[in-house]
Structure 1
Amino acid sequence: MKNLKLKTALLPLVIAMPVFQASADDNVSKAQLEKQLEVISKRIAALESAEGKAEKKSDGKTQFNVYGTLRPTFGVTSGDSEDVWDVGDALSRVGFATSRELGNGMTAFAKGEFKVNIQLNGDFGEARKAYVGLKGDFGRVAIGKQATMQYNIIADPVDIFNRASTPLAYDDASPFRQQQLVSYSKSFGNLAFSMAGQFKKEDSLNEGSDLFNAGVKYSGDGFTLGAAYLTKDLAGIDENTFGVSMSKNVGDHYVALSYQDIDRGGNGQDRSSLDVVGAFKISDSYKLKLGYSNFADDLGAAETAEVTRINTTLEWHLDNDFYTFVEYQNNNFKEREDNNQVMVGMRYNFDYKF
């Protein structure tokens, strides 16, 4: 089509030749006009050749997609003292991902993902992910803001609810995405190994990484089993976290569990998190989700954030990319005022590949 347009652009010149010949003055000969036409023809041929080369550069080796999910919510949080109504947001975001084959079995890739603050002005918020990497037979290496192994292996299997604070217990305890990460991962059949280090010059408490996270995950026949270890520097102490997770698909149903033990050197600072979830398909349009969680610490009554949560969610799937939901959650704190949350929301997902 592009070549046709270029050739079509030449037609007015060809049609106009007789006119040029008839109206040419004594200083312009037929030979000169033909020479000018020849120059124009060569120029068009050069443009066609350049277009051909440009098309070869995008011969399917490069992939690009724009994706996102918008998740507004409306609900009420009821406590003993007051009821609070609020329009909220369940982690809406937009992003792009691109990759390009480099040859020799290597592929370059990049991703940028950003929050959409529906509960505020609908503004773009901070970056959730922003990294560039390279993968091949050697594995996968990436640099930038990424999800931790602790999230990918321990939290992700139980992250099924439509709210910002999820997974329910993990949210109180461990990191999700971290900036200034260098990560490496490689799969060996059904077994995947990954690790990452965080290097923040301005906050470094030592000459090494500020955070180190490593994990391993087995996947097969609708079943996953994972374990991860996280260590990071805090003011005066080191935090060491060990977590395990497992998940299982049973037909159209899904169950998962994750547990973490967080060691901060005792003195009331140790913590733990437990999440147990299930998603059950009622029909082609309805899905029921249930969750139980417990976050525990060793702090005294004045400081403890210990809480047990129970969540029930009913989703109505009108389409693969659009559904509505109603969700109830009870938050039973050890020392703080308990509350109940009821909210409804909508979720629209999109993913366009180019």
Structure 2
Amino acid sequence: MKHASKLAFLAAAGMATAGAQAAEFEVAEGTTLFLGGEVVLNYLYEKRANGNDDTKFVDDGSKVILGGERDLGNGITAYVETEFEYNMLGNNDDVKRDASILGFVGEFGEFQIGASDNVFEDLISDAVDPFENATLEQVDLTNEDSMVTYYSPDMDGFSFRLQGRHKNRDKQSAKVSLIAAAEYDFGPFALAAAFDSRGSVDSGNSDNFKSQDHVVGLAATAQLTENLEASARFAQENDQAGNDKDFTAIALVYDYGAGDLYGAAQNFDPSNGSNSTQVAAGINYEIANDVLIFAEYGDLDRKLTNGDVKTTDTDKLGVAGLIYEF
């Protein structure tokens, strides 16, 4: 997934994508406020590893997104964006802030502070992830908060991204993750490489960090025809306990006009354990501007952690969903 300028509003790495109808309000010369968001509803069937199969009708991450930008002069624009999550189905009344970003963009590139997307995920993981929900198992990466991120400008097809996460703990010294990614876009195809030191991975206990080794990855994307895109990715997750994991995946996306037909397959090779093959496929259809319906099926083994879906490992997943962006 290529990084788009924040000036396209909410179509960039760190935040959700707002629909084309996102409202803009010019409150002063050079200063604009934005309001957008999305509704995401899923009906899921899960065949779980523990035998407790289930069906669910869930809100899978509906949100309202507020933002603004200001022209600072000298070719520099500042922006701020904040997401607020809510449950469209009314299963709870909570509205909570999910992520915020402060950024500056100009000829120098783009600089962000806040909950930016992990740049390894942007260029490597997302290369073979066309799915809304049936994502194949991915490497564990540095958490996406307390980030400082730099996106370089495009230099005749070459660009790079540098990122650091500084996190404090009450009973430990602060820890830092260093993440770097680079891409060369040749036109009909692109190559990318990335590294995540995972120096500040959260343990799940608010007072502790989890000691982990680095993650490395390579990805390639090619436009085979006007309507067909292919991608491949290799990622290796290293663990200080010796439980290294290799992830080798390919994906295809076919644009049939009113939507996309897509699929992916992955070989999962842990150093301690048996190889497995994970596959998933899906189709979507744009029934109106900014209204998308989709269906996906995955024969996989991974944890669902989005929205209201928090379960044990899932062997097989079927999902039908609707996304409305505004």
The structure-2 alpha-carbon separation of the partners of 1:344 and 1:126, relative to structure 1 and needing over 3 Å to count, comes to same
| Helix, strand or coil at the partner of 1:130 | strand
Quote the residue 1:347 is aligned against.
Answer: 323
| Helix, strand or coil at the partner of 2:127 | helix
CA distance in 2, matches of 1:57, 1:89: 33
- What letter is aligned with 1:218? Y
Q: Select the residue among 71, 74, 95 that pairs with 2:43.
A: 74
Gaps of 5+ in 2: 1-25, 202-208, 303-311
Pairwise CA distance, 1:103: 0.6
Q: Verify: 1:276 aligned to 2:254, yes or no.
A: no
| Helix, strand or coil at the partner of 1:269 | coil
Pairwise CA distance, 1:125: 5.8
Larger radius of gyration: 1
Q: Select the residue among 249, 261, 264 that pairs with 2:239.
A: 264
Larger RCO (CA within 8 A; separation ≥ 6): 2
CA distance in 1, matches of 2:283, 2:127: 19
Quote the residue 1:182 is aligned against.
Answer: 148
Q: Select the residue among 174, 179, 191 that pairs with 1:213.
A: 179
The two structures have a TM-score, normalised by structure 1, of: 0.69
RMSD: 3.1
- 1:164-213 deviations in Å (ceiling 9; x for gaps): x63x122xx22375111111221223211111111112269656x52110
- What letter is aligned with 1:341? L
| Helix, strand or coil at the partner of 1:178 | coil
The structure-2 alpha-carbon separation of the partners of 1:190 and 1:206, relative to structure 1 and needing over 3 Å to count, comes to farther
Equivalenced residue count is: 282
CA distance in 2, matches of 1:264, 1:120: 41
The structure-2 alpha-carbon separation of the partners of 1:196 and 1:339, relative to structure 1 and needing over 3 Å to count, comes to closer
Pairwise CA distance, 1:157: 2.4
Is this contact kept in 2: 1:309–1:331, CA < 8 A?
Answer: yes
The structure-2 alpha-carbon separation of the partners of 1:202 and 1:340, relative to structure 1 and needing over 3 Å to count, comes to closer
| Helix, strand or coil at the partner of 1:179 | coil
Q: Verify: 1:285 aligned to 2:285, yes or no.
A: no
Q: Select the residue among 56, 64, 87 that pairs with 1:94.
A: 64
Pairwise CA distance, 1:140: 2.0
CA distance in 2, matches of 1:57, 1:117: 30
CA distance in 1, matches of 2:110, 2:258: 38
Larger proportion of helix? 1
The structure-2 alpha-carbon separation of the partners of 1:131 and 1:272, relative to structure 1 and needing over 3 Å to count, comes to same
Gaps of 5+ in 1: 1-55
Quote the residue 1:315 is aligned against.
Answer: 284
Paired-residue identity, %: 21
Quote the residue 2:268 is aligned against.
Answer: 295
The structure-2 alpha-carbon separation of the partners of 1:260 and 1:127, relative to structure 1 and needing over 3 Å to count, comes to farther
Q: Verify: 1:241 aligned to 2:215, yes or no.
A: yes
- What letter is aligned with 1:259? F
The structure-2 alpha-carbon separation of the partners of 1:263 and 1:337, relative to structure 1 and needing over 3 Å to count, comes to closer
Q: Verify: 1:62 aligned to 2:31, yes or no.
A: yes
